[in-house]
Structure 1
Amino acid sequence: MDDGEEVKLETYVKPILTAGKEDLPLPYLLFLQGGPGFESPRPTEASGWIKKACEEHRVVLLDQRGTGLSTPLTTSSLSQITSATEQVEYLKHFRADSIVRDAEFIRLRLVPDAKPWTVLGQSYGGFCAVTYLSFAPEGLKSVLLTGGLPPLGSACTADTVYRACFKQVQQQNEKYYARYPQDIQVIHEVVRYLNESEGGGVSLPSGGRLTPKMLQCLGLSGLGSGGGFERLHYLFERVWDPILVPGAKKTISYYFLKEFEMWLGFDQNPLYALLHESIYCQGSPSKWSAHKIGSECESLFDPIKAIKEGKPMYFTGEMVFPCIFDEIHALRPFKEAAHMLAHKEDWPPLYDVNVLNNNKVPVAAAVYYEDMYVNFNIAKETASQIAGIRLWITNEYMHSGIRDGGSHVFDHLMGLLNGKKPLF
């Protein structure tokens, strides 16, 4: 890829509306998915927030660039770019600022008379929506945010985010083990087995390696979403192979190893691993922030220390560590690019605080009190910088509220915008 060489990307959108309303002049609503690196939903039935939204809108599902059918960036497609420097040059175009430009390009061509549309942003999609508010508010009729208020600042806010998130992750671990105290010993046995195995881990089906540090990453999916505690507990119910022949060696089951890989999914969504920390960067590098801040909490999050002291092993949360580019086979070719991205200093701005302070677009946000991914206090601070925002603060849902109670969440936020709900 030479300097100045044009790269063409395809962008996929899927409009959805209720049958029988095809000819009605319904307003448009764009959904921005969480991530980074995950495609839009593929609904198979009329349910949840989509069913509710389609009562009065034409819903537009956007595969953000690099995901789904929008010139998907996979481990195999990215391997076509053989230079780490060129990989970084390519990847820098997949953040929120580029996603907003895509959305505006689509709106001007899809919406009749290029009218403003409503945007619903979940998690990272909410971060993108705040970028939208900063740089293209003329394209917005209103904005709905669910667990998606980003930290604001002129430089890298990753350190602030992870300091807050490690505390919340600690609390989630304590709640998990209070619910399933029997898992303390089970997980100790797994950590001990991994640590005593040759090379400090065991091989994964895809060719990677499961180590105690990698085992901790299960907290990403298991600690912060509705039903996550239960799914994590049931996963460890099947961690060991049964002993069918007396004297056979104790082994971790193929089922567990395969499920572990599916839970993480970094190999299927390399954008998430490569760009996660960059979503917090404006003109400053992250320098592997999660790893750095995690080192400050090492006394709590050291798995070997935990089993020696007879304490619960704490899982980690929404954090990407350098070790995954060693232990996940499909990510190894991008290790150099990942380190370069972590030290990249010239990230362009993602937010304009002055514009947000003078915002005129109606905004309603669901802020989840026990959100493990988007810290409650940071979200409140950001909300104070967005003029006119209306907050719904609740502990009824976790970060996955739009999935677990989407119809209620969507209806409540629309009620805030329409004056049908009290303001908090």
Structure 2
Amino acid sequence: MLTIRALSSIPTPLLHLYTSSSSALSTRTLRRHPTAATMLNSATAAMITAASTSKGVTSSEHLAGNWYSVPDLRLRDHKFNVPLDYSVDFKSSQKITIFAREVVSVGKEERSMPYLLYLQGGPGFECPRPTEASGWISRACEEYRVILMDQRGTGLSTPLTPSSMSQLKSAENLVEYLKHFRADNIVRDAEFIRKRIVPDAAPWTVLGQSFGGFCAVTYLSFAPQGLKQVLLTGGIPPITGGTTADAVYRVCFEQVKIQNMKYYKRFPQDLQIVQELVNYLSESEGGGVLLPSGGTLTPWGLQLLGLSGLGSSTGFERLHYMFERVFDPVIVAGEKKQISYYFLNAFDKWLGFDSNPLYALMHEVIYCQGDSSRWAAHRIRSENNSEFDAIKAAKEGRPVLFTGEMVFPWMFDEINALKPFKDAAHLLSEKKDWPQLYDIDALKNNKVPVAAAVYYEDMYVNFKLVMETASQIGELRLWITNEFMHSGLRDGGGQVLNHLLAMLDGKKPLF
């Protein structure tokens, strides 16, 4: 049961960041005149700082629920009605819901505590749902009031699912809608919430995991006044202008190759199993087999298992145990060998695009600033095709290499949940007028304390690119480790968060 929380005296921020429709500066102008880009970013920050106050604020903008419990935690749900497009007048703008869950330790519901906003990785994934006081959430609740915000389009924040997106009847309409679902608007949502939920609209601490860290760096660029300190875990983005997707995938393919070799060294028996499976798929009618979801499993589709299998803790093990049951036993003499339903069903569930299609649609455009991605991963893969050609590798007895965190155009033909969005995906890949996500000058002059966990062998966020960006962020302290993989925040219990907090509160030395 939701109760209304009175907010008539709290100001409403209208954060008018730069958008292509409102700027007189073209992409060509920005490329020819770098100072124009600097001026634009300065204007963007100024617009956030000078966010206007709307009169006649209604309590319907924020609904706060009653407290409820899971073991050792108390939780409260919040829903905020925010503009889809912050460049439009608040009263006349289309609204979407942003959901945030407030989490505290039992007995601390009314205690005065600083706030910590958690930004989940992705793009396109909701925040974790706490079932007990454990892991990093338990550690954070020792001293913070934690806010788990489902980023727009995920979880309970007007979720974009295959069914809900079907309401947008054309690819053009869907692209026009999706252009509002990048880091810039996620930051605007965070500021909208902060000014309504934090007493006196005080700055808060932000913890950003993976893509959530990318959002936090956007936050540092354009709304640092809302930040007390920032914690990054596997989430320092490339920040140069134009599209950085090409640079990202060029270095990430190299790390993916290394992870493949590690996998086959751990489980050498899978080398032959995967080769046999690829041969089976390539020799099947149509070059693949039907999946329970209605999609098709092909040799190149099989390679997508590397997305989470190669880069996260226990990924190697989970992948290996899938391949243990790849084929059904032949229990009737003369019957043909076939792939087991167990494996096909596990493959469908492994990818998860039926529940989180936003990831596939938006993955490459999170890197774009004033230019298009043009299916960057697909183009860069062609440069490595001799190594990533699954059929050729299987025929020649070489290791079949899995791919990593990459989205390819043919996925919108083979994965059933993505098929309706094929045209929109192509339009997004060609879209050029993406606004800037980072202000390099603002980051160099940053005064907000920042601590970052950098995972040396991270498959998703490349170490080389991380270090290039890190050199351009003021007040940043790095913890470089190979003890954890990209999922270190989740896997390390409270250890990773505890280490980062210690770096900022003086418990860790400055060298």
How many angstroms does 1:6 deviate by? 4.0
In structure 1, distance between residues paired with 2:468 and 2:411: 32
Q: How far apart, CA to CA, are the structure 2 residues paired with 1:137 and 1:406?
A: 29
How far has the Cα of 1:406 moved from its partner? 3.3
Aligned equivalent of 1:351, options 415, 427, 438: 438
| Amino acid in structure 1 at the alignment position of 2:242 | A
Query: Which SS does the other structure have where 1:413 is aligned?
Result: helix
Match of 2:241 in 1: 154
- Equivalent in the alignment of 1:183: 270
Is the CA contact (8 Å cut-off) linking 2:279 and 2:395 kept in structure 1?
no
**Structure 2 match to 1:78:** 165
Tell me the CA shift for residue 266 of structure 1.
1.5
> How far did 1:160 drift?
0.3
Q: Deviations over 1:130-162 (max 9, x none)?
A: 000001000000000000000011100000000
Cα distance, 1:267 vs. partner?
2.0
Aligned length: 422
Per-residue CA deviations over 1:81-110 (Å, capped at 9, x if unaligned) read 111101000000000001000000000000
> Which residue of the partner structure matches residue 274 of structure 1?
361
Determine the C-alpha separation between the residues in 2 that align with 1:262 and 1:320.
17
Find the counterpart in structure 2 of residue 242 from structure 1: 329
The equivalent of 1:223 in structure 2 is 310
Counterpart pick for 2:226 among 128, 139, 145 = 139
**Is contact 1:391-1:423 (8 Å) kept?**
no
Identity %: 70
Deviation at 1:366, TM superposition (A): 0.1
* 2:469 maps to 1:382: yes
> Hey, what does 1:416 align to over in structure 2?
503
Other-structure match for 2:348: 261
Whether the 8 Å CA contact 1:392–1:423 is kept in 2: the answer is: no
**Mapped pair 1:38 → 2:125:** yes
Q: Secondary structure at the match of 1:11?
A: strand
What residue in structure 2 maps to residue 214 of structure 1? 301
Bigger proportion of residues as strand: 2
Partner Cα separation in structure 2 for residue 380 and residue 409 of structure 1: 19
Asked if 1:308 is matched to 2:395, the reply is yes
SS of the residue 2:480 aligns to: strand
The structure having more radius of gyration, on CA atoms, is: 2
In structure 2, which of residues 276, 281, 295 is the aligned counterpart of residue 194 of structure 1? 281
1:101 aligns with 2:194: no
The letter of the residue matching 1:334 is F
CA distance in 2, matches of 1:23, 1:30: 18
1: distance between equivalents of 2:497 and 2:345? 35
Gapped regions of structure 1 (runs ≥ 5) = none
| Offset of residue 330 of structure 1 | 1.7
Normalising by structure 2, report the TM-score. Answer: 0.82
> In 1, are the aligned partners of 2:101 and 2:149 still within 8 Å (CA)?
yes
Q: In 2, distance between residues paired with 1:419 and 1:312?
A: 48
Distance 1:307 1:188 in 2: 5
The one-letter code matched in structure 1 to 2:388 is F
CA distance in 2, matches of 1:353, 1:312: 42
> SS at the partner of 2:386?
helix
Cα deviations by residue, 1:375-423 (Å, 9 ceiling, x for unpaired): 0111111111100100000000000001100300000000001121134
Structure 2 partner of 1:60: 147
CA distance in 2, matches of 1:79, 1:423: 53
- C-alpha displacement at 1:248, in angstroms? 1.4
Deviations 1:19-45 (A, max 9, x none): 112222100000000000000010101
What letter corresponds to residue 280 of structure 1 in structure 2?
Y
> Normalized against structure 1, the TM-score is what?
0.98
Secondary structure in 1 matching 2:347: helix
Paired with 2:169 and 2:142, the residues of 1 have a C-alpha distance of: 48
1:335 corresponds to 2:422:
yes
Structure 1 CA distance for aligned equivalents of residues 332 and 308 of structure 2: 35
Aligned-pair Cα RMSD in Å: 1.1
Looking at structure 2, the residues matched to 199 and 22 of structure 1 have their Cα atoms a distance apart, in angstroms, of 59
Structure 2: runs of 5+ lacking an equivalent: 1-87
Aligned positions of 1:359-374 closer than 5 A? 359-374=446-461
Aligned to 2:292: 205
Q: Aligned partners of 2:94, 2:163: CA distance in 1, in Å? A: 18
Partner of residue 99, structure 2 = 12
Contact 1:203 1:209 in 2 (8 A): yes
Aligned-partner Cα distance in 2 for 1:49–1:151: 26
Would the aligned equivalents of 1:194 and 1:200 in 2 still touch at CA under 8 Å? yes
| Deviation string, structure 1 residues 336-384 (Cα, Å, up to 9, x no partner) | 0000000000001110000000000000000000000000111111111
From 402, 406, 417, the equivalent of 1:319 is 406
Contact 1:88 1:337 (8 Å CA) reproduced: yes
Name the aligned partner's letter for residue 339 of structure 2. Answer: I
Match of 2:380 in 1: 293
- 2: CA distance between counterparts of 1:336 and 1:6? 27
